[in-house]
Structure 1
Amino acid sequence: MKKILRVVGIIIVALVCIFLFTFRNELKTLTQIEKVNNYPFYKMDYAGDYGLDELLENGVSSDAELAQFATKKLLKGIPIKIKVPNLGCTTFNVETKAGDHLFARNFDLTKDPIMVVKTHPKNGYKSISMVNPGIIGVKDGNIAKLSKKVMLLVAPYIPLDGMNEKGVSIAVLRLPDKPTNQQTNKTDITTTIAIRMVLDRASSVNEAIKLLEKYDMHSSANTAYHFQIADKQGHSAVVEYVDNHLKILSSKKQPQVATNFYLSPGAQYMEGNGQDRYAKVKNRLKQKDNTLSTAQAMSLLQEVHMEKNAKNQMETQWSSVYNLDQKTMTLVIGHNLKNKYTYQLK
């Protein structure tokens, strides 16, 4: 009997060791989720591989397929749903007097938790990105539950804006149009996968565009989107899918601004909303000779922030200003300028 118990004990210890080794990165990630404030605002340092190579090789054409991939690859069979909401937003790029390149972004949505996610993949660039955990059903008050916390292992695949170590930044903005559904026999990707791909693989705006050209886009949430991308060389581009055709509006000298309407010349030009926010940002940049400090860029974001009221259910969840040369992100939650958070990507 003693020998049997000893053998059973050895087997149990071995199984525990195998479990801890197999899930070491997942366990490490979960222990590094930290609540920053009661908005609620969290931060995560993601450890390990999330399988981007495999995903881009096989492709996904919908949020449901992304959820299936995440369930199998990251959650070890735990089912999850991914639902990207209808979001507002404002973005622009600008230079400082010292010559640093800034990328600024307001994210507008109904209130949900917020999370800063740092990733450092073996086969990609380090990055910092902003995530809304509500996309995967993680709401205020339940993030402390282990079952909900485990779902956050999907966070690298639901970024909404971010910056990588090469000084490339990207953000997504909604367009009120039918969803993009390209069918050119290329590998399929979705909206948030495009952001992850650019952050992990692009060292410039040109590289980001070349990456996007290699894939068929299938947009999330039954709507359309466009992206603004900027780099530390001062190059910026707005990427749109007009009638399922990729359109690039690029600039190497003048700042670009994007809100929630089409910018590509043609029949759909100016379709959408946010023209007032767009005009205000353009006018302010012109007044400042296209030169703003980080503090001034943040103040401009506050001028065009959305506030929840009887007619509008959206509000600005966060305002982020990325310094693409210094690799810093200055963050304001809601539109509370009294509390600023700064993160360094190193």
Structure 2
Amino acid sequence: MRRTVVATVLALLLVGTGCGEGRAPVAPVAAGTATASRQDPGQVERTLASLRKVDDLPLYEMTYVGDYDPTAGVAGADPPSPFGCSLFAALGDRDRPLFARNFDWEPNPALVLRTDPPDGYASLSLVDISYLGVTADPAGDRRLLDAPLLPFDGMNERGLAVGLAADDGARAEPVSGRPTVGSVRILRLVLDSAATVDEAVTVFERYNLDFDGGPPLHYLLADATGASAVVEFVDGKLTVDRRRGPWQALTNVPAAGVPDRDLRRDHRYGVLAKELDRVGGVLDAPGALRLLDGVRQAHTRWSVTYGLRGGEVRLVTAGGGARDYRLPMS
């Protein structure tokens, strides 16, 4: 059944410009008190005091001090999920595997978030803070204490990276006995507890994903060993499509089990595939950012690369900023 609709999905996407174009904006989460924080008052103060604006996207940085509950409200839905656009893992150089993505959506403020929970892996992730109800002036806003719950892409200290993209044809049927988690929240659970692609897939398998209120999603995973996989929902069931070469890419078309020639009919996927074939899946951060620039859209908010062995992060935003970070690896 899925294969019969792939051509139609591809055709529809080919006549548009991609993620989110022509769709009504998604409303942010209603304002409310933070539910995830396990911080003492001093840790709250230090977390909020670490917030600083670094470019005109606007882009902010914040270090989360102390603990949080990544499963807070796990039985409920996350806020409506965004459209993620173009992602790839360049894995041809075993010493320098790299994960890269464009995030294309509404002109909302974003946050570079550092977390280091006592019972999980440290990570660096990117958050669209409008989904917390935070807008123009986030200084002192306690809703930022829930920022760990909504990573749209990120990498942890073990070199495991994950990002999401919309997949309109996906449908996740609940499995009896599994808790339900929002389709963005699952990234936090992966970053906190998975060191490899296999472990990340196991995290996905523990939960039912809730796509209500936003587009269905699929996910690209990659790790420091050079493994990668796409996680999708095919006819309601979780499906894992593992890498079969030195790279793996994902846009907004179904990927699991779809012939390569059909995937390349999507313009952005085709551009990524052509260049990744040409270089044999070997790209450094500048090369990866050039490739992301080749598939950027008018509504691309940020482009980011994650070095899966060395912990290097390079971020370029629509606000004109280019920033480098390094996540200490373990």
- TM-score normalized with structure 1 length: 0.78
Q: Does 1:130 align with 2:126?
A: yes
- Give 1:280's match in structure 2, choosing from 271, 276, 297: 271
- The 1-side partners of 2:265 and 2:163 are apart by 16
Distance 1:109 1:275, change over 3 A: same
Residue deviations 1:209-262, cap 9 Å, x none?
A: 111111111125332100000001000000001222000001264311000011
- The 1-side partners of 2:231 and 2:149 are apart by 20
- Letter paired with 1:160: F
> What is the CA distance between 1:266 and its match in structure 2?
7.0
- Letter paired with 1:217: L
- The 2-side partners of 1:97 and 1:236 are apart by 14
Match of 1:5 in 2: none
- Give 1:62's match in structure 2, choosing from 77, 82, 85: 77
- The 1-side partners of 2:84 and 2:257 are apart by 22
Match of 1:341 in 2: 323
Match of 1:15 in 2: none
- The 1-side partners of 2:265 and 2:149 are apart by 27
CA contact (8 A) 2:91 2:97 kept: yes
- The 1-side partners of 2:218 and 2:310 are apart by 26
Higher relative contact order (CA 8 A, sep 6+): 2
CA contact (8 A) 2:85 2:251 kept: yes
1:283-302 maps to which residues of 2 (within 5 A)? 283-302=274-293
Match of 1:84 in 2: 81
Match of 2:142 in 1: 150
- Give 1:233's match in structure 2, choosing from 222, 225, 232: 225
> What is the CA distance between 1:203 and its match in structure 2?
0.6
- The 2-side partners of 1:158 and 1:274 are apart by 31
- Give 2:294's match in structure 1, choosing from 300, 303, 313: 303
Where does structure 2 lack aligned partners over 5 or more consecutive residues?
A: 1-38
> What is the CA distance between 1:274 and its match in structure 2?
8.4
The DSSP-based 3-state class of the residue aligned with 1:138 is: coil
1:306-321 maps to which residues of 2 (within 5 A)? 306-307=297-298, 315-321=299-305
1:1-346 maps to which residues of 2 (within 5 A)? 22-52=40-70, 55=72, 59-63=74-78, 82-85=79-82, 87-95=83-91, 99-139=95-135, 141-144=136-139, 146=140, 149-177=141-169, 180-251=172-243, 253-265=245-257, 275-307=266-298, 315-334=299-318, 336=320, 339-346=321-328
- The 1-side partners of 2:86 and 2:319 are apart by 14
With 244-253 and 149-158 compared, the bigger mean Cα shift is at: 244-253
Residue deviations 1:55-76, cap 9 Å, x none?
A: 4xx732412xxxxxxxxxxxxx
Where does structure 1 lack aligned partners over 5 or more consecutive residues?
A: 1-20, 64-81, 308-314
- The 1-side partners of 2:300 and 2:311 are apart by 23
The DSSP-based 3-state class of the residue aligned with 1:261 is: coil
Distance 1:183 1:98, change over 3 A: closer
- TM-score normalized with structure 2 length: 0.82
Higher helix share: 1
Q: CA RMSD in A?
A: 2.4
Provide the aligned length of Structure 1 versus Structure 2.
Answer: 289
Task: Give the structure with higher Rg (CA).
Answer: 1
CA contact (8 A) 1:236 1:252 kept: no
Distance 1:59 1:151, change over 3 A: closer
- Letter paired with 1:84: S
> What is the CA distance between 1:340 and its match in structure 2?
2.0
How high is the sequence identity, in percent, across the aligned residues? 30
CA contact (8 A) 2:101 2:304 kept: yes
